[in-house]
Amino acid sequence: MSKRYEVITIREDFEIENSNEDILGLGKDADTFINKYIESNYKGSVLLSGKWGIGKTSYLRQIEEKTNKDKKFVWLDYWDKNNQTKFYTYLYSKLKPNMYAWHKFNPLLWVIILSAVQFLLVLVQFVISMFKDMQHLPDNNMIIMGLITWFILFVGSGTLTFAKDNYSEENKYKKKLVKYLKKHDVILVFDDFDRIDNEAKDDLFHHLSEVNLFKKSLIIVVGEHNKLIEGTDNVFTQKILNNVEHMPLKTKSISIWGYYVEKEIEELIDTSNKTRSDDFLFSDIREQFVADHRTFREAKQLLNSFEFEYVEIREKKINPSQALAINYIYQFYNQVYEIINNNLDVIYGDDMRLEGSYDHGKIRGNIENILMENNVELPKAIINFIYNVFHNNNGTGFYYPSISERLNYTQYQLGHFETSSVSIETLNNYLQANLNDSSAILAKLTEKDFERLYILIINRIRNKNSDEQEYLSLLNKLIYYKFHGKYGDKNLIFSISYIDSLIYKVKNELSLIHGFVANCQYREVVLRNNKIDISQKLQLLAVFIPNNSDKEKQEQINLVKKIIQDISC
């Protein structure tokens, strides 16, 4: 009889939208920021500094919620190259989206009006000819009316063409912005500012200066201070460094552990089986979490992995603290985890026992040496942490068999369970394989295998050390399997849902981490892909570029034309 697993809830990496979701209790800090920069009517720029994943955007969302509604927050994705080239147009579309849509519709409206005029004039000609019973042959007056009709159409269309070719949209919206800013308080938020190159920052400084935004608005720049000061030769960075606000202390690792991680662990584990030895190791993990300056986002990743391995796969039948410790090493020191898997003799000191020279004091040094041999240098603290996990002095004080005994290692080893054969090695083989071989790997997976591989891929793509080409290669493999995979009768439904979800998530991570926008991804991975046909390319178009705006609609049209053009060549 097969096991029945609890349904687990993946902790999504979403922004906190309001104070009801404020786990860390940042309300007073938000009030302080509001009093200092918003209620005081401060005009100028301020950098909100904090490392990636700490929750800067969520913090600003709470500030926005608490701010009086007469202060308008405008969130700008300036890292998008399309938004940089037509900044005033982009800014106006964010400030007054309805008016912007109206301005974009105007040319089409004029075409409709002129067409209606032509129709009415032709209708008048027809009615007059009927009344005069002239076999529909126009007299001099009707000829004059016809000439007037075509003259109006010619002048109208010519005027529209001239305006389109010669009138600058940027200048038009720039003037409108100047008028708007005289009457309204605007708070501009530039997210992920440390992802923008110096040239774009300098351009932004000039854009904002030309409409006097530094003196008329509060400009909040979001990024990491240490990354921004690496390029102090740009004008805008020098400007914002005069006003730096660091994220509240409650977003530090020690608060994240106390307010969030600890409570989540208590809900997940079977407390009746928790011992003092677990408490000691949980304390060690907390100290390492704080020493590594882990963020709220990283806490969610750790808890997701821990819940999957400890609750669903092993049904809480191992020691929770040791399970969390292994997941910590796996999540944040993945290369070290692989070295541990491949060198258990050294980790446990079995090589010394074979030589008859077992020395407990030397094992820590041997662990450090094996890491250095694999070109991994770690602080002493993490080496001590790894040593303590495998050589816990309270090993006999646990409820379940301890990982400090080598024979129990497989009970804690990630990827080593009966319900799935998928491991990190499987993922690496998949990522390194060609299209056909990678598709064959997926075709052999069960539903549980797919679920496991899905989580491994999600963890891998969220690793900021992954380069752009790794993401693109993964997208290629997923798309190839979607259309050319050899599905069995049993795995068609569940595998497609996982593949579609992964395509969507990889696409988003490429945009967020590398600034490689979706339309560029489509051109690179789909448009140039000779492994898929025109119908499949059209099917993927809505995935990469949803039709949510006029701009996206036009981009879809351009890409469809490009697809047809490539086929006709």
Q: Is residue 418 part of a domain?
A: no
The CA-based diameter of the chain, rounded to the nearest angstrom, is: 122
- The vertex-84 CA angle with 83 and 88, nearest 5°, equals 75
417 within some domain: no
Per-residue confidence at 262, pLDDT binned at 50, 70, 90?
very high
CA–CA distance, 108 with 112 (Å, rounded to integer): 6
Question: 304 and 242 in one domain?
Answer: no
CA torsion 329-334-337-338 (nearest 10°) is: 170
Q: What is the pLDDT of residue 357?
A: 56
Cα 192 to Cα 76: distance, rounded to the nearest angstrom = 10
551 and 407 fall within a common domain:
no
What letter represents residue 536's amino acid? Q
Percentage of residues in the chain having pLDDT higher than 90: 18
In this structure, is residue 195 part of a structural domain? Answer: yes
Residue 188 lies in a domain: yes
Residue 46: what are its φ and ψ, rounded to 5°? -145, 140
Structure confidence at residue 186 (pLDDT): 86
Task: Report whether pLDDT(330) > 90.
Answer: yes
Quick one: 238 and 265 in the same domain? Answer: no
- Examine the domain organization and report whether 274 and 379 are in the same domain: yes
Question: Are residues 212 and 271 located together in one domain of the fold?
Answer: no
Count of the separate structural domains present in the chain = 3
* Other CB atoms within 10 A of residue 340 CB: 24
Do 218 and 262 lie in a common domain? no
294-324, pLDDT tens digit by residue?
998 899 999 999 998 888 878 788 899 999 9
Say whether both 437 and 403 belong to one domain. no
Kindly state whether residue 46 falls inside one of the protein's structural domains: yes
Under the banding of pLDDT at 50, 70 and 90, the label for residue 558 is: confident
Given the structure tokens 């302080």, which residue do they identify?
32
Q: What is the pLDDT of residues 126-148, one digit of tens each?
A: 666 666 554 444 555 555 655 56
Q: What is the CATH number of the domain that holds 118?
A: 3.40.50.300
**Residue 140 sits in the same domain as residue 190:** yes
For residue 294, tell me if it sits in a domain: yes
Higher per-residue confidence, 279 vs 415: 279
Residues 5 and 133 in one domain: yes
Q: Is the pTM of this model over 0.85?
A: no
Same domain, yes or no: 359 and 481: no
Beta bridge partners of 190: 76, 221
| Residue 142: predicted pLDDT | 55
Does residue 191 share a domain with residue 117?
A: yes
Q: Which domain holds residue 122?
A: 1-251
Cβ-Cβ contacts under 8 Å for 419 (sequence gap 6 or more): 3, 313, 448
185, 218, 251 - which closes a domain:
251
Q: Which of 192, 225, 251 is the last residue of a domain?
A: 251
Distance CA 525, CA 478 (A): 11
Do residues 187 and 273 share a domain? no
Residue carrying the six token digits 């997976």 = 445
DSSP 21: G
- What is the Cα gyration radius of the chain? 31
Task: State which of 251, 272, 299 marks the end of a domain.
Answer: 251
Quick check: is 192 in a domain? Answer: yes
Report yes or no on 158 lying in a domain.
yes
Mean pLDDT, range 505-512, rounded to an integer: 86
Other Cβ atoms closer than 10 A to 319: 29
Dig out the tokens for 225 from the structure. 């201070």
